[in-house]
Amino acid sequence: MGDTPQRSAHAGTGGTTVATSHGWPAGASARVAEPSGNPGTPGPGGGDALPRAKAFGAERAFRGLTLAAGTFVLVVIAAIAIFLIAKAVPALRANSESFWTFEGWFPNDNPPKFGIGALAFGTVLTALLALLMAVPVALGIALYLSHYAPRRLGNGLGFLVDLLAAVPSVVFGLWGRDYFAQPVADLSAWLNRYFGWIPIFGDGPYGNSILLGSVVLAIMVLPIVTSLSREVFRQTPTANEEAALALGATRWEMVRTAVLPYGRPGVIAAVMLGLGRALGETIALALTLGSTYAISFNVLASGGNTIAANIANRFAEANDTGRGALIASGLVLFAITLIVNITARAIIYRRREFTESAA
């Protein structure tokens, strides 16, 4: 199908007709075909019967326009990397401590001192904890909606989950800080009292802790992972499910042998996309984390910080070097999310090829 339309476009209409027909109403398109509709002449076949493609026809112009728009996407991605690097390098040069290991953020001092170690650690720790909590629950809900709930109920609730995925993150942050902090502080005190021997459940003070941040993050990621994996589970071929049931499988065995293996690449991709979202989440964590600069595994004590939350918190007070330092940290975040996303997409693309060849 690829070449035919182009040839017919030029062969059938001729160059001038194409150019002048630009502003005609939709009904006029039949007239465009008239010149070639002469029954007496033989069909296209002689090479010289076909008019040559015009160098600057509307077809080429439109094609060039779309090509430019497509290329623009690549330009934007490259520009993001280039401009971030351009602004980050002067600040990194001015930094008097190691960017990777120094635990603290004083880019406005003279000499400036800042390091990304604690922030990157906090980013990864918070995101992983959030996923650890969110993913099993999200898969449970996705299975419930696709295979356990009555069909109408499942569709209705699925719609609701999609709506929740659209709720802005600042709302979750506000809820976490104003309303959810107290229950989590109580839970922290309880965990420390009875499970204090596990190192991550250390002493207080309890307040805006990594636990609070990651629970809020988990609640935010939940609708996204649920909605994506529900889509995947629903696409399981009915034949596979019915075959499993016909062999006498219970409902769980059907899910385990037909639905989960089929959906595994999709679920992995959904989790990776959720991870990307969690790594980049800014405002909810700026409101719920304690904003300290230490590497600590104690998830209960007030503290914790992430790259994105640090940017939001420290931007207002930043001078020139301070902005450069924040942009440098943003560059690291960009690199981390880029790796996560490319991995996720590679998994999805492999699956797409697999399903297409199987069909």
Partner 1 sequence: MTTITTHRPRPPAQPASLRARRLPGYAPPAIAVVALLASAGIVYGAGIGGAVLVVVVAALLYLAGLFLAANAVEGRRSARNRTWSALIHSAFVLAVLPLASVVWTLVSKGSARLDGNFFGTSMNNIGARDANGGAYHAIVGTLEQVGIATLITVPLGVLCAIYVVEYGRGRFAFTIRFFVDVMTGIPSIVTGLFVLAFWVLIVSPVFNDGRPGFSGFAAALALSVLMLPTVVRSTEEMLRLVPAPLREGSYALGVPKWKTILRVVLPTALPGIVTGIMLAIARAAGETAPVLLVAGGGAAINFNPFENNQSSLALFVYQQAGEASKYSPARAWTAALTLVALVLVLTVAAKLLARRNRLGR
For partner 1, which is the closer residue by CB, 36 or 292?
Answer: 36
For partner 1, which is the closer residue by CB, 297 or 315?
Answer: 315
Contact flag: residue 182 with partner 1 (CB under 8 A): no
* Other C-beta atoms lying within 10 Å of the C-beta of residue 351: 18
How far apart are CB 204 and partner 1 at their closest, in Å? 18
Which is nearest to 301 in space by CA: 167, 191, 226? 191
For partner 1, which is the closer residue by CB, 298 or 306?
Answer: 306
Considering only residues 293-312, where is the footprint of partner 1 by CB under 8 A?
Answer: 308, 311-312
Residues of the chain by 3-state class (helix, strand, coil), percent to 5: 75, 0, 25
Among 125, 131, 228, 326, binds partner 1 (CB under 8 A): 326
> What is the distance between the alpha carbons of residues 154 and 227, in angstroms, rounded to a whole number?
12
Contacts of 106 (CB under 8 A, 6+ apart): 112, 113, 114
For partner 1, which is the closer residue by CB, 160 or 297?
Answer: 160
Torsion angle of alpha carbons 243, 245, 246, 249, nearest 10°? 110
Q: Are 303 and 290 in contact (CB under 8 A)?
A: yes
Contacts of 214 (CB under 8 A, 6+ apart): 125, 126, 127, 129, 130, 133, 299
Contact flag: residue 355 with partner 1 (CB under 8 A): no
> What is the distance between the alpha carbons of residues 14 and 316, in angstroms, rounded to a whole number?
61
Among 56, 194, 297, 354, binds partner 1 (CB under 8 A): 194
How far apart are CB 28 and partner 1 at their closest, in Å? 10
> What is the distance between the alpha carbons of residues 272 and 169, in angstroms, rounded to a whole number?
19
Considering only residues 90-129, where is the footprint of partner 1 by CB under 8 A?
Answer: none
Q: Are 210 and 126 in contact (CB under 8 A)?
A: yes
For partner 1, which is the closer residue by CB, 217 or 301?
Answer: 217
Contact flag: residue 159 with partner 1 (CB under 8 A): yes
Pick the stretch among 141-149, 198-206, 238-246, 297-305 that binds partner 1 (CB under 8 A).
141-149
Pick the stretch among 39-47, 112-120, 178-186, 260-268 that binds partner 1 (CB under 8 A).
178-186
Pick the stretch among 39-47, 136-144, 196-204, 238-246 that binds partner 1 (CB under 8 A).
136-144
Contact flag: residue 338 with partner 1 (CB under 8 A): yes
Residue 169, amino acid: S
Angle at 194 between CA 207 and CA 284, to 5 degrees: 25
Contact flag: residue 76 with partner 1 (CB under 8 A): yes
Pick the stretch among 83-91, 92-100, 204-212, 239-247 that binds partner 1 (CB under 8 A).
83-91
Among 49, 93, 96, 163, binds partner 1 (CB under 8 A): 163
Among 114, 271, 337, 347, binds partner 1 (CB under 8 A): 337
Among 50, 51, 180, 268, binds partner 1 (CB under 8 A): 180
Among 4, 110, 238, 357, binds partner 1 (CB under 8 A): 4
Contacts of 118 (CB under 8 A, 6+ apart): 103, 104, 292, 293, 294, 295, 305
> What is the distance between the alpha carbons of residues 176 and 180, in angstroms, rounded to a whole number?
5
How far apart are CB 134 and partner 1 at their closest, in Å? 9
Binding mask 54-73 for partner 1 (x = CB under 8 A): ----xx-xxx-xxxxxxxxx
Q: Angle, to 10 degrees, between the axis of helix 58-94 and the axis of helix 4-13?
A: 130
Considering only residues 230-259, where is the footprint of partner 1 by CB under 8 A?
Answer: 250-253, 255
Q: Is 151 helix (H, G, I), strand (E, B) or coil?
A: helix
For partner 1, which is the closer residue by CB, 18 or 296?
Answer: 18
Residue 67, amino acid: L
Contact flag: residue 213 with partner 1 (CB under 8 A): no
Contact flag: residue 205 with partner 1 (CB under 8 A): no
> What is the distance between the alpha carbons of residues 117 and 15, in angstroms, rounded to a whole number?
63
